[in-house]
Structure 1
Amino acid sequence: MSGQGERIAVFPSRMALQGMKGRLKAAQKGHSLLKKKADALTMRFRQILAKIIETKTLMGEVMKQATFSLTEAVYAAGDIGPVVMQNVDKAQTKVRSGTDNVAGVTLPVFEAYTDGSDAFQWTGLSRGGQQVARCKEFFSKGVTLMVALASLQTSFITLDEVIKMTNRRVNAIEHVIIPRVERTIAYITTELDEQEREEFYRLKKIQEKKKDMRAKKEAEALLNACNGVNNAEAPNLVFGQIDQDILFM
């Protein structure tokens, strides 16, 4: 059954009442746990949102400095693009993935790390070495912030979906399941009370019937006793009259 004005279709009995009370207790406990989970997830969600804003702001500053340092490096060392492409044979900055557990929810975590030696350590050796090193530093920091931002945004989206689902469950338990079980308990209690009143009335009527039958039997017994006495006295009166007539003849 569905709807907020309906109840669960059960036969009103004491066993069903105990089952509904157990279901109500379980629903209330589940609602409390899901509420705490939703609060914990919301708190972490806000923390991640604050970190995203902070990381985006910092990333904007770093990328601005990186772009400016690239201009300086090109001005000082010339076009370093072909040299960089020639020295690259594998990725130096890599990303490792992990997981984080928040109130039973698994969140993906990405982390940037450097693998291998620096392939650009001799770039800009002839001229502009300082500008090239600064450019490399800023862009490396930008890549690290980009990976951190990707991790935060992935966790943000995952938490958003889980929070919505958890809130739907909390609302369903609070506004649908618990009221329905409470209405069912009220219905069973009312029916059991009505059955007890009917049983009390039936027992009362049976006792009254037995009392009337007992009184009737006692009245009949008394009447029979009275009739027996009257029948026994009537012949004595007749015989006494006869004896008296014989005496005075």
Structure 2
Amino acid sequence: MSGKDRLQIFPSRMALTVMKARLKGAQKGHSLLKKKADALTLRFRQVLAKIIETKVLMGEVMKEAAFSLAEAKFACGDFNHIVVQNVTKAACKVKSRKENVAGVNLPVFEYYTDGTDCYELTGLSRGGQQIDKLKKNNAKALELLVELASLQTSFVTLDEVIKITNRRVNAIEHVIIPRIENTLSYIITELDEREREEFYRLKKIQEKKKAIKAREELEREERMAAQERDDNVPNLLDNEEDEDLLFL
């Protein structure tokens, strides 16, 4: 196992506990990020399907709006100056809000009107029906444009976040977790080797103590045997018969 495949850490019981906690945290983080990526991918596909549907509808609505404009100009003539003169403030407005999806804030644009109609007198002379139809078709087209802009913004945001999340998931799965596992394996191997060395050292110490004890026991027995032999030797001075023989 090379040093690049694991963390540079001193193998100890404390390091083993820390690495186990880090492994558990990495696995938990990987699980949460995987769930987040799945949720974002699901929403991404929903937005993509909605964009396709809106674009198809947008083609039909824009075609109707362009045809309505041609009909209104044919019936009323050029009414651009009337529209320009009646403009005071925007009747169609857009507001934005945030939508939270798995911790990601997606911008959402909403189309609304303030209730005022700057062109309510337009078309009283002629072509009023065509102009009213034109207003409705253009309002519908504008609403679809705002919805499409909201979907496109959410699409781009989700695409970036999904890429970042997938990179993090892959980094945790293929780099961080294997490195921590290799470090754990290294620490466990080193600790087992230390335990075997300690067991061998203790075994040698016990054998040495037993040898010393046996030698001391043998020496003690030899001293006791020598003392017993000394006690069994007869003393001639203490024997009266020997004293009489001595003086004869």
TM-score (norm 1): 0.91
Matched residue, 1:142: 141
Provide the residue aligned with 1:90 in structure 2: 89
- 2:197 is equivalent to residue 198 of structure 1: yes
1:172 & 1:89 partners in 2: Cα distance? 56
SS in 2 for 1:123: coil
Q: What pairs with 1:4-15 in structure 2 (closer than 5 Å)?
A: 5-15=4-14
Q: In the TM superposition, what is the alpha-carbon distance from 1:4 to its structure 2 partner?
A: 9.7
Aligned to 2:71: 72
Kindly provide the amino acid, as one letter, of the partner of residue 192 in structure 2.
Answer: D
SS of equivalent to 1:109: strand
Change (3 A) 1:62 1:4: farther
SS of the counterpart of 1:64?
A: helix
Q: Give me the whole-angstrom Cα distance separating, in 1, the residues matched to 2:100 and 2:125.
A: 50
Q: Deviations over 1:26-62 (max 9, x none)?
A: 1111111111011001100110111111111111110
- Distance in 1 (alpha carbons) for counterparts of 2:8 and 2:202: 30
Aligned pairs, number: 245
CA contact (8 A) 1:92 1:118 kept: yes
CA shift for structure 1 position 85: 1.0
Amino acid at match of 1:166: T
CA distance in 1, matches of 2:196, 2:3: 30
- Which residue in 1 is equivalent to 2:113? 114
Check whether the contact 1:4–1:176 (CA below 8 A) recurs between aligned residues: no
| Gaps in structure 1 of 5+ consecutive residues | none
Distance 2:122 2:14 in 1: 83
Conservation of the 8 A alpha-carbon contact between 1:4 and 1:175: no
Q: How far, CA to CA, are the matches of 1:236 and 1:8 in structure 2?
A: 83
Distance 2:116 2:188 in 1: 78
Task: Please name the residue that 1:213 is paired with.
Answer: 212
Residue of structure 2 in register with 1:186 after alignment: 185
3-state SS in 1 of match to 2:9: coil
Residues 110-148 of structure 1 show CA distances to partners (whole Å, capped at 9, x for unaligned) of 111111421112211111111111111111111110011
Partner SS state of residue 5, structure 2 = coil
Q: Deviations over 1:169-208 (max 9, x none)?
A: 1111111111111111111111111111111111110110
1:157 corresponding residue in structure 2: 156
Partner letter of residue 125 of structure 2?
A: S
Cα distance, 1:95 vs structure 2: 0.5
Distance 1:21 1:91, change over 3 A: same
Give the distance between the partners of 1:233 and 1:100, measured in 2 at CA: 110
2:104 is aligned with 1:105: yes
Shift of 1:226: 2.6
Contact 1:112 1:147 in 2 (8 A): yes
Counterparts of 1:221-236 in structure 2, within 5 Å, are 221-233=220-232
Deviation (angstroms), 1:228: 2.9
Shift in Å at residue 231 of structure 1? 4.1
Cα 1:182–1:155 change in 2 (3 A) is same
Equivalent residue letter for 2:218: A
State the TM-score, normalizing by the size of structure 2: 0.91
